[in-house]
């Protein structure tokens, strides 16, 4: 069984508070792209997970119990009270520690696949509750639709109004970013809650709307990984780039362009001028 796991992009990320247990409260708009990882999952006599492609050596060096795919399998086994032995081949395109939700997308894809392979008949809400216990990005990756994440990141408000067509250039410095370290480094006041329930449906107005928002983790991530600031400065010099920011806790940055051609031309230019970076163009999933 083949499962496509789309990359997640945070168009903005506001830190609105902090709970007594140390978890931060946030507001973040998540969208999904037409690039991502692919899983090949089949029933087996035991759980076996192999990784190929981007970051495979680092992932293979992880203890099996720390792999989010493994955690998803064991979490669902606990829920249904039976073994769910599978062979999982993960074909990675999403860099590790990139802020694109690759591990969470893989875990979400695994939960969906197991539900189908073993005819479990579980509702999406049940899969979301299992995923939320594993990682805060897994619920939105299970939905894979444009959504506002609130609370600790597991509360979702799905946007049913389509976003205007837009195109992205993703630039990763080939350096991972530690979510824990970025949150620890963050300083300053919290961002007051804003109204995000409606957004403009035309490109230019949406860019203006997005310009009133930001990523509250960007400053901390730049301090820890100066390459992020360099990439953002590079994106800002491109005349066809209408908006740029970092996604999640880093390290990937993105620029938004009005046409596919402009995005592809910018990506080709950046890859030629900065060959040490990973550069890709993308559009919203389903567009």
Active site residues: 8, 137
Residue (of 228, 272, 242) closest to 167 by Cα position = 242
3-state secondary structure at position 110: helix
pTM for this prediction: 0.94
Question: Phi and psi at residue 111, in whole multiples of 5°?
Answer: -60, -45
Domains of the chain: 2-158 (3.30.230.10), 167-283 (3.30.70.890)
Question: 87: exposed, middle or buried (C-beta count within 10 Å: 0-12, 13-18, 19+)?
Answer: middle
Cα within 13 Å of Cα(115), Cβ side: 21
Q: Are strands 86-92 and 24-43 parallel, antiparallel or unpaired?
A: antiparallel
User: Are 131 and 107 within 8 A, CB to CB?
Assistant: yes
Residue 222 CB partners (closer than 8 Å, separation 6+): 228, 229, 232, 246
3-state secondary structure at position 192: coil
Question: 121: exposed, middle or buried (C-beta count within 10 Å: 0-12, 13-18, 19+)?
Answer: exposed
**pLDDT tens-place values along the chain, 287 residues long:** 999 999 999 999 999 999 988 889 999 999 999 999 999 999 999 999 999 987 666 666 667 788 999 999 999 999 999 999 999 999 999 988 899 999 999 999 999 999 999 999 999 999 999 999 999 999 999 999 999 999 999 999 999 899 999 999 999 999 888 999 999 999 999 999 888 878 999 999 999 999 999 999 999 999 999 999 999 999 999 999 999 999 999 999 999 999 999 999 999 999 999 999 999 999 999 76
């Amino acid at each position: 069984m083949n499962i496509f796991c789309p990359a997640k992009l945070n168009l903005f990320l506001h830190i609105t508070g902090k709970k007594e247990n140390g978890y931060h409260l946030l507001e973040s708009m998540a969208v999904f792209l037409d690039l991502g990882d692919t899983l090949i999952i089949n029933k087996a006599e035991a759980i076996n997970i192999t990784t190929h492609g981007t970051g495979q050596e680092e992932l293979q060096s992880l203890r099996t119990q720390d792999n989010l795919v493994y955690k998803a399998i064991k979490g669902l086994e606990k829920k249904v009270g039976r073994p769910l032995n599978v062979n999982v081949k993960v074909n990675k395109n999403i860099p590790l520690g990139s802020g694109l939700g690759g591990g969470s997308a893989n875990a979400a894809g695994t939960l969906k696949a197991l539900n189908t392979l073993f005819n479990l008949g579980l509702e999406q809400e049940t899969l979301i509750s299992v995923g939320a216990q594993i990682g805060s990005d897994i619920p939105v990756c299970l939905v894979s639709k444009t959504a506002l994440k609130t609370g600790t990141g597991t509360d979702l408000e799905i946007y049913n109004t389509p976003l205007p067509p837009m195109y992205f250039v993703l630039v990763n410095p080939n350096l991972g970013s530690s979510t824990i370290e970025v949150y620890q480094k963050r300083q300053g006041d919290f961002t007051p809650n804003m109204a995000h329930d409606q957004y403009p449906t035309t490109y230019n107005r949406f860019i203006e709307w997005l310009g009133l928002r930001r990523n509250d983790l960007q400053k901390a991530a730049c301090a820890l990984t100066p390459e992020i600031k360099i990439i953002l400065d590079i994106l800002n010099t491109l005349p066809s780039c209408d908006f740029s920011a970092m996604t999640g806790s880093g390290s990937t940055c993105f620029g938004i362009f009005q046409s596919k051609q402009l995005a592809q031309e910018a990506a080709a230019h950046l890859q030629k001028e900065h060959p040490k970076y990973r550069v890709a163009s993308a559009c919203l999933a389903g567009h």
